[in-house]
Amino acid sequence: MSFELSSKTKKALSKRIGIPYDKLVQMDDEEIEAFIEKKTGKKITWPKGAKIDGLPIKTMEDINKKIDELER
């Protein structure tokens, strides 16, 4: 299924986000993440206790910490 946003919606998104809509859809994930971090001044993180499909999200730091604990 395919759909297209109206020009009015694209204009509203561009104004809200701060970059043209056409540029946004051309950006890859890393560029979008860098843009968000630059605009907000904060690093993007997962909230504590976040889950996907009922399973807790683990960061690489969490996994490395658990491995270190198991190696002791």
Evaluate if residue 2 carries a pLDDT over 90. Answer: no
Asked if residue 25 belongs to a domain, the reply is yes
pLDDT at 49: 85
Structural domains counted in the chain: 1
Asked if residue 64 belongs to a domain, the reply is yes
pLDDT, tens only, 8-46: 999 999 999 999 999 999 999 999 999 999 999 999 888
- Do 39 and 18 form a contact (C-beta atoms < 8 A)? yes
Asked if residue 1 belongs to a domain, the reply is no
Strand partners, 7: none
pLDDT at 1: 63
21 or 49: which leads in pLDDT: 21
Q: Please give the radius of gyration of the chain, using alpha carbons only, rounded to the nearest integer.
A: 18
Structural domain range at position 57: 7-71
